[in-house]
Chain A
Amino acid sequence: MNKRIMAAALSASMALGLTACGGAGGGASTTAKTEAAKTTAAASSTTTAAATTKAAASQSSDGSTVEINFWHSMGGKNGEVLAAIVDSYNASQSKVHVTATYQGGYYDSIANAQTAIAAGNGPDLIQSGTGQVFLLSGTEGIVANMYDYLDKNDGLSRDDFYNSFIYMYESDQNGKKFLSCLPMGSSTPVLYCNKTLLDKAGVSIPKTWDEMKEACATLVDGGYCDYGFAQPRDSWYFWMAIPNFTGKEAFSSDGLKLDCKDGAVKTYTFAQDLIKKNYMYPGPASEGGATINQMMQAQQCAFYINSVGGLKNQETAAEAGGYELVVSDVPAGATKDVPSGGNVLVMLEGDQKKKDATWDFLKWMYTSDDGIAKFIANSGYFAPTEKVKNSKPVADKLTNDENYKRAYSAIDNVNSNYYMVNGSSNLSTPIMTFMDAVFYDLEDPAAQYDVLKEACDEALAEANDK
């Protein structure tokens, strides 16, 4: 009899246990879990999910410290720097405690955030890519308006930020100017040049696309290297190519249609011609960055168009390859326009106390030498504000790193009008398909543009269908 009772009790407890495990419907246990997760009290910031779980289990002992969850997308060295920054902030004061958690790449972190927000378990602050912000800010009431804080002029104001890195995140919401995020490490594409190889071939750094073609012809046809310039497989370069090469906008004035057939066909016919002659190497889908770095290092390629954020990698490749690296502007077409990118900080809507605490952290990040300045100085990203640029770590880098200093001139060429279009973050897939078809399969750019336009217009219509 006892055995039967025990068996029944065991069965019931297992069933209850399983029910509790799967209970994500917003019941009391979920709420408690949510609050526990949000009121973390880790001894120090970490970059692992396991640490967050550990942190979620404990709570602030004195009750006066506000706990902030900060999800970021920086792995490797950049992740370590970010963790050190958060540690510095936590050590600098006792009102707010920030727990940093690595959430994977930009798309992963946004997808995780969406799921967490839907479950009422979202973080307070997210670091993500510039192209992914709209996946959150596209829905009203999710992202906090940064102007609400910047306009208090409490140590950090909207005038502090470079306009070219901030204006694309601005919109009108209910008759009010709305800023969905703050730029953290900003970037633009730049041209990395193997100066040693260029000198050997008697070629100077190209300033226009025609000069680039000539330089590549001398380099490749003369047998100095296998390819002229390389470019990663990324939709970012679609936005670079069209405004730069043709001086034309990509979208119709209402932002609902892709409207750049002439520009796209002209640009991509030119690019395709370069590919056919090995003057251009479009990077592969997998391990594109590593592949091109290796090619640069082996001096198979003379130029590389890539984000300024990759400066450190290129310096390492140049050192290993034994050549002089020079950073220059991306060649000019009808304009010198380049898009901006990099990563941003997004504060989520929620409890006012938490938002204020998050703002305190953000303000510190932008004003302390141990904050974003440290992150910028340890990577190749641009400073988002003049104050960060003039901070000691970044000023030292600008003095000591000639290439970083040269790269800074690219800021004047930033044109990120494509970000102004609602739904543009949903266009990556059709754009990549278009670029693949033209670059890898050498399909007719005009015919492929029609396919691209159909897919883009459909995605834009869907994104704007409120």
Chain B
Amino acid sequence: MKKNTTNTEELETRHRGNWKEKIKPYLYIAPAFVGIGLFTIYPVIKVLIWSFQKVNQLDTSKTKWVGMKNYSYLLSNGAFQKTLLNTFIYTGATLAIIMTCALILAFWLNKSQGHLTMFTQGAAFMPHVISSVSIALVFSMMMNPSFGLFNKVLTAVGLPASPWLTSSSTAMPSVVGVASWKAIGYYCLIIIGALQSISASIYEAASLDNAGAGVTLRKITIPMISPQLFFVMITMTIGSFKVFDTVRLLTDGGPNNATSVLVYYIYKQVFWESNIGRACAAGIVLLVLVGVLTVIYFRLLSKRVHYQ
């Protein structure tokens, strides 16, 4: 009888212990969850709700539900359509330019050694550590059509001057150029890191098999650095979709909305026009676009990514 009582107590103790063991992980992750809930999930839900409302921040009793009106406005509005197109153009152009230049530069820097290489590597990375504000100010001066350095050089070599940031036809390429110049060094460094992690023995084996440079690049180098390339593509796409500072500082979205991009449009809706509902709807459009693109990337490219 005494033994039975002892067994029951032991079971109870073990059960209590199990209960504590079960709750412990939840307690550990609770702070992070509370943080995510408050600072990520709650704001996203709030933005989603506001995107269906005409929000009056000053008098919330005047906030009213407008259904899909904010979305239908955006999708039928010429300025927003142009903004959306600009965002895709900016993203596509920066992605293509940065990836190409960063890859070429990384291959070159990875092959050569010496002081010049070190200097080039440092110089290429330098723009990344300079603040966007400084870069924008310097470039806006250099791109000034009347007294900027670029036009002085162009005219000195007999080429026609460009309006750079002051014409719809040249403003976006100018902004893309500045953004690419700033980012190439950073992505180049990531790719160099990936290239240096490839074991020399793989190249030795390839060379024993008489593999040419092209085959080595396609069959060894690219697949071996594909995880990093995939990471670069995803982060660069998301970053380009969220571009704001370069546009705000260089062109203010102009001229004639030629460089207006999604985040800048959202900023204008909030700060200039006090239209919170419409800004939130544009924010949701951005969220969906980035989400869809990320899924597409994963679907299309993840199979081509080779993890060691």
Query: Which residue numbers of A lie inside 8 Å of B, CB to CB?
Result: 4, 7-8, 11-12, 14-15, 18-19, 21-22, 107-108, 110-111, 114-115, 117-118, 135-136, 139-142, 226-227, 233, 281-282, 284-287, 291, 294-295, 298, 300, 426, 428-430, 432-433, 436-437, 439-441, 443, 451, 455, 459
Instruction: Contact check, A233 vs B254: say whether CB atoms are below 8 A apart.
Output: yes
Query: Which residue numbers of B lie inside 8 Å of A, CB to CB?
Result: 20, 24, 27-28, 30-31, 34-35, 38-39, 42, 56-60, 62, 78-79, 136-137, 140-141, 144, 146-147, 163, 165-169, 249-258, 268, 270-275
Instruction: Contact check, B146 vs A226: say whether CB atoms are below 8 A apart.
Output: yes
Instruction: Contact check, B167 vs A440: say whether CB atoms are below 8 A apart.
Output: yes
Residue on B nearest A140 in the bound complex, by CB: B59
List the 4 closest A-B pairs by CB distance, nearest first.
A436-B255, A14-B31, A22-B38, A285-B252
Instruction: Contact check, A107 vs B271: say whether CB atoms are below 8 A apart.
Output: yes
Task: Tell me whether A440 and B274 are in contact in the complex, defined as CB-CB below 8 angstroms, given that A139-B58, A433-B79 are known contacts.
Answer: no
Instruction: Contact check, B146 vs A295: say whether CB atoms are below 8 A apart.
Output: yes
Residue on A nearest B82 in the bound complex, by CB: A433
Task: Tell me whether A7 and B27 are in contact in the complex, defined as CB-CB below 8 angstroms, given that A18-B34, A22-B39, A433-B256 are known contacts.
Answer: yes
Among A110, A291, A439, the most chain B Cβ lie within 10 Å of the Cβ of A291
Query: 29 A-B residue contacts at CB 8 Å?
Result: A7-B24, A14-B31, A18-B31, A18-B34, A19-B38, A107-B272, A110-B274, A111-B274, A114-B58, A117-B57, A118-B58, A139-B56, A140-B59, A142-B58, A233-B252, A281-B146, A284-B140, A285-B254, A285-B255, A286-B137, A286-B140, A286-B251, A291-B144, A298-B147, A426-B274, A433-B257, A436-B257, A440-B166, A440-B255
Instruction: Contact check, B274 vs A135: say whether CB atoms are below 8 A apart.
Output: yes
Q: Which chain A residues lie closer than 8 Å to B270 at the CB level?
A: 111
Alpha-carbon distance between A272 and B251 when the two chains are bound, in angstroms: 21
Q: Which chain A residues lie closer than 8 Å to B146 at the CB level?
A: 226-227, 281, 295, 300
Q: Which chain A residues lie closer than 8 Å to B136 at the CB level?
A: 286
Among A287, A291, A429, A443, the most chain B Cβ lie within 10 Å of the Cβ of A429
Instruction: Contact check, A300 vs B163: say whether CB atoms are below 8 A apart.
Output: no
Among A18, A114, A430, the most chain B Cβ lie within 10 Å of the Cβ of A18
Q: Which chain B residues lie closer than 8 Å to A4 at the CB level?
A: 20, 24
Instruction: Contact check, B268 vs A441: say whether CB atoms are below 8 A apart.
Output: no
Instruction: Contact check, B27 vs A455: say whether CB atoms are below 8 A apart.
Output: no
Minimum CB–CB distance from A329 to chain B (whole Å) comes to 26
Minimum CB–CB distance from B30 to chain A (whole Å) comes to 5
Residue on B nearest A142 in the bound complex, by CB: B58
Instruction: Contact check, A11 vs B168: say whether CB atoms are below 8 A apart.
Output: no
Q: Which chain B residues lie closer than 8 Å to A441 at the CB level?
A: 167-169, 255-256
Instruction: Contact check, B274 vs A114: say whether CB atoms are below 8 A apart.
Output: yes
Instruction: Contact check, A7 vs B28: say whether CB atoms are below 8 A apart.
Output: yes
Tell me the dominant secondary structure on chain B's binding face.
helix
Q: Which chain B residues lie closer than 8 Å to A429 at the CB level?
A: 79, 268, 272-273
Q: Which chain B residues lie closer than 8 Å to A426 at the CB level?
A: 272-275
Residue on A nearest B249 in the bound complex, by CB: A286
Minimum CB–CB distance from B14 to chain A (whole Å) comes to 15
Alpha-carbon distance between A4 and B23 when the two chains are bound, in angstroms: 11
Alpha-carbon distance between A300 and B147 when the two chains are bound, in angstroms: 9
Instruction: Contact check, B58 vs A11: say whether CB atoms are below 8 A apart.
Output: no
Minimum CB–CB distance from B124 to chain A (whole Å) comes to 25
Instruction: Contact check, B256 vs A15: say whether CB atoms are below 8 A apart.
Output: no
Alpha-carbon distance between A437 and B270 when the two chains are bound, in angstroms: 24
Q: Which chain A residues lie closer than 8 Å to B271 at the CB level?
A: 107-108, 111
Q: Which chain A residues lie closer than 8 Å to B60 at the CB level?
A: 118
Instruction: Contact check, A117 vs B38: say whether CB atoms are below 8 A apart.
Output: no
Instruction: Contact check, A284 vs B268: say whether CB atoms are below 8 A apart.
Output: no
Instruction: Contact check, A286 vs B252: say whether CB atoms are below 8 A apart.
Output: yes
Contact among B28, B57, B141 with A114 in the assembled complex (CB-CB below 8 Å)? B57
Q: Which chain A residues lie closer than 8 Å to B141 at the CB level?
A: 287, 291
Task: Tell me whether A11 and B28 are in contact in the complex, defined as CB-CB below 8 angstroms, given that A108-B271, A139-B56, A142-B58 are known contacts.
Answer: yes
Task: Tell me whether A440 and B59 are in contact in the complex, defined as CB-CB below 8 angstroms, given that A11-B28, A287-B140 are known contacts.
Answer: no
Minimum CB–CB distance from A75 to chain B (whole Å) comes to 15
Residue on B nearest A115 in the bound complex, by CB: B57
**Apart from A286-B250, A426-B274, what are 10 other A-B pairs with CB-CB below 8 Å?**
A4-B24, A18-B31, A111-B270, A111-B271, A111-B274, A295-B147, A426-B275, A429-B79, A429-B272, A440-B256
Q: Which chain B residues lie closer than 8 Å to A430 at the CB level?
A: 79
Q: Which chain A residues lie closer than 8 Å to B137 at the CB level?
A: 286-287
Alpha-carbon distance between A7 and B26 when the two chains are bound, in angstroms: 12
Residue on B nearest A105 in the bound complex, by CB: B271
Alpha-carbon distance between A8 and B19 when the two chains are bound, in angstroms: 14
Instruction: Contact check, A139 vs B168: say whether CB atoms are below 8 A apart.
Output: no
Instruction: Contact check, B254 vs A18: say whether CB atoms are below 8 A apart.
Output: no
Among B56, B163, B255, B270, the most chain A Cβ lie within 10 Å of the Cβ of B255
Instruction: Contact check, A432 vs B254: say whether CB atoms are below 8 A apart.
Output: yes
Q: Which chain A residues lie closer than 8 Å to B34 at the CB level?
A: 14-15, 18-19
Instruction: Contact check, A15 vs B255: say whether CB atoms are below 8 A apart.
Output: no
Task: Tell me whether A15 and B30 are in contact in the complex, defined as CB-CB below 8 angstroms, given that A107-B272, A440-B256, A451-B78 are known contacts.
Answer: yes
Alpha-carbon distance between A443 and B147 when the two chains are bound, in angstroms: 25
Q: Which chain B residues lie closer than 8 Å to A226 at the CB level?
A: 146
Contact among A8, A117, A291 with B27 in the assembled complex (CB-CB below 8 Å)? A8
Alpha-carbon distance between A265 and B141 when the two chains are bound, in angstroms: 32
Q: Which chain A residues lie closer than 8 Å to B27 at the CB level?
A: 7-8, 11-12
Among B38, B39, B252, B274, the most chain A Cβ lie within 10 Å of the Cβ of B274
Minimum CB–CB distance from A13 to chain B (whole Å) comes to 9
